[in-house]
Chains A and B, each alone.
Chain A
Amino acid sequence: MSQRRRSPVITGTGLICAAGCGVSSVWKSLQTNHSGLRPLTLFSSPRFSGHLVGQVAEEVAALAGKIRGSRSDQLAWIAAREALAAAGFAGGWGKVAPTRVGVMLGATVGGMLGAETFLAALLREHKRRFGPLRFHECAGAADLCARQMGARGPVATLSTACSAGAMALFAAAELIVQGEADVVLAGAGDSLSRLTLNGFGSLLLLDPHGCRPFDARRAGISLGEGAAMLVLEDEATARARGATILARLAGWGASCDAFHATAPQPEGRGALAAMQRALAGAALRPQEIDFVSTHGTATPDNDAMEAAALKRLFGAAVPPFSSVKRFFGHTLAASGAIKAVLAVQSLRAQAVPGTPGFEVADDKIGLAPVREFRPLALSRILSNSFGFGGNNVALVFEKFDSEAIPHQEPPASHPILRQPAAKGWAILGAGVVSPAGHSLAEIAAAFRAGGAPVADFKVPALFPDAQAKVYACGEFGAERFLDPARRRNLSRLQQMTLVATRAALSPQMVAATRPEQICVVIGTGLGSLANTAAFVENLILKDERAPRPALFASSVHNSLAAQVAIEQGCAGLNSTPVQREITFETALWQAATELRTGRAELALAGAADELQQYPLAAGLRWGWWNELSPAIRPFANALAKPARPLPGEGCAVFTLGPAETAAQPLGFVSAIRLGRSQTLHAEAEARWIIETLEREHIAAGEVDLLLTGANGLREPDDFDQAVAAACSRQAGRTILCHGYKHGCGEHYSASAFGFLTAIGLVRGDIPAERPVRTVVLWTRSPSGTKGMCCIRG
């Protein structure tokens, strides 16, 4: 097979924000230096009513057509539709196979606006209107776009706060370079919400006068909303179908400050590292960058540290730079994606936007941004995005010369440095907090006893007398492992994650590895729900008086991975997948990618979710479960809809590394893959699983057991067994089929517990009908997304 180097190019862009709807409309605002900030009208805010925000002027729901979803989802789809049409995919995929089409989005707000409406009705009027909770998840936009597009390649959502859009582009580029997809829709959308407005307010990070990036008087951000999408495509695919190539994504770099929950490291160490890695990946020197699109939020800390990092990187020759934040506000996850679209536009137009809001230079910064739109000869633009928790991403966009001969040689950019050893990546450590116990031995004992115990869970705010049956974690030793000062501002889910991580990652492993070579990818379906709910309840009950910053800081999805990085000093990529049932598989894929590229020597992969009364109450209301619901018995309950499996919670974290470095690994993981099915077809699923194994030279006949998310619901359980039967036929031997949810309950991070179950099976700790050496963990979501991996002893 020829090793033609794969390189991501951009063939379509779409954009909606306060500065306009559509790329050309926004560009016109930039050309005329026209800011789209205006007073908030989307919802009433007693505290911030006079503030300027970047609210989208158009009627979003109407623009989105018949699409149902949160405002964030609708914004994302509006931008995606424009990008797909621009790339020539409005009428279908043509020569591109849908299985080669992926979706990789960023999101942080998701359906929070709807959840706030639900809580306001509940707490003020005692009305139980659960409808908006159906669109709460951050994964909504990616699922929606994938469904609309008919994408059947990898689909995932990442939530690294304000760098999420850039992180999505980073991951999309990897999907293309590693050959997992030929076309990827990448970007992000986030709506305004009371949570984020009051959250940033509680951190004293909102400037009532509107943001003033790099200005001496700057006092914070203006919050905004919007979405931007890019069609990323392998250069060869784009050329073969005669697409117009707009620009190249030449470099991408990520780092973690490992410093503070919400404040950046003051000298910009993490920011500098991300920029250096983006340049190194593209084999570029600093002087080859012509322009920097800064994160430039206009908080006192961000702009000072970003300027310091620019000076460290470029010395006396800092290229022209600007911040576009005053045009449309800080759009959180969407920010990095919007800047990517604008960078592409700049490279095409050979012109750069200015920095409205900047008037008075800051002597302490010693640098001044480009003030107004102006022409500039551009070959490459560096675009920075920094998120809470020190989640930094830098991207390099390059002008595309259509006359140039396509690359013949593998380019310097982000080469795949190594393949896993014969059996895969070594699993060096595991940590777990689960309803079945907090160690593999306890869990094995629970499985021998038929599963974890079922507990009662009260839902006081909604149904005073009602109880739901659940799988709960109980005490997990937070008091023993974490001192009170450390625990004070941490959510229960953060504490769970830190406790699990301490079991997975030994001090010796950390000591033997350079901090920047330890990456942390810990996903969560819903984040620290208890803290998030408490923050919003407080807003509603007290009319936004005295919002609580500690609750807000821990409500951010990536606060789990960020706290792990802070505690363990991990300065490599830090990311937080939020893709419903395949949250953990996405974490595993991203962690393995960092190992494959040699950017990480140790990679943490994990997932965590917790029980909370509102989703439980919604399930009670919708008739999914009640006090009489039975415990989960995979393949044996035969429950019919609308009954649902009992909810659970838990966290599992694993340390992965190259096999050479492992003394006595717990096992090995390989054949990690994400995908999506449009319809349920057992033979096709079995083919997908076996094809994935064969790509990594694992014969189907080696597989002993298929481990699935079977949960006692008749139809999906029957389907899982049909897939196992089809795998058996294709492999020519009987492959066992097991579940694990009787140990952890139903939750978005359950498959992380499944991964530990697989380790227990191949080690012989957890018994099966016959000795098991090779397990395939296969997880699918009702939305169609799926993920798999192979675990061997």
Chain B
Amino acid sequence: MDAIEVTGLRKSFGRTTALDGLDLTVRAGEVHAFLGPNGAGKTTTIRILLGLLAKDGGEAVLLGGDPWRDAVALHARLAYVPGDVTLWPGLTGGEIIDLLGRLRGRRAGIDPRRRQELTERFDFDPAKKARAYSKGNRQKVALIAALASDAELLILDEPTSGLDPLMEAAFRECVNDERHDGRTILLSSHILAEAEALADRVTIIREGRAVETGTLAEMRHLTRESVDAELARPVRLDGVAGVHDLQADGTRVRCQVDHAVLNDVLARLTEAGVRSLTCRPPTLEELFLRHYSTERATAGAPR
């Protein structure tokens, strides 16, 4: 069964369209990265899934239920980390962690041993009043409250914004532990390295629509290989179908190659005498840039 199934979801605020027919499927037990730039509609989607916003159209099914109608019952089975964590200034971090666990109810409550372990792992002082916490520390409160719960679904909205690199590493470790425990995680992010390191599957969203979805392997299959070669003699590759973004500088060749013609291109390179060759799948960064650079091109950016 899928943990989240969203089809054709639509939502507008006045004249602005936030979601314009979004599709998103998160399978039970997977870590799913939900990627897009700020304003793409990630948070709106999450807030509809949490029953905080009413959808204008389309379908959304969360853990087999209706996120609006069955909100309370469903929330007992999930834990949520908001993108911008605001806390009650007069309460301590420890109090808020416990409170959020108790509000979720028994089924997704806080495991005290895990709470202790996570507090140490994130190097967090739970006895301070929330008004004294930095952004990173506020983020830790929400993260500990979510990760220490028994919830079967974790919804994390840009969970590492504000964390320093050390804590980001601790967070990744935690998510990998969760994966082994069979929990489902929806991780919204605009940090590509994070999604690459953690996600089983990825959905990329732009202007309220999913533009690509699948495993990273599947996505790379659809896309091109980056080739960077130092040759003995110059080689002519321009005009070859399937070769893109060619940069030829004497004997140095850099280009993007469709998988269908990779074999041909490599044959031509070896003919010219290869001195060094790197050939690697595109990073998510490059996938991402491709989607947004086309957007910029259609928007009529000056050349």
Tell me, yes or no, whether A binds B: no
Binding site for B on A (CB under 8 A): none
**Residues of B near any A CB (own CB < 8 A):** none
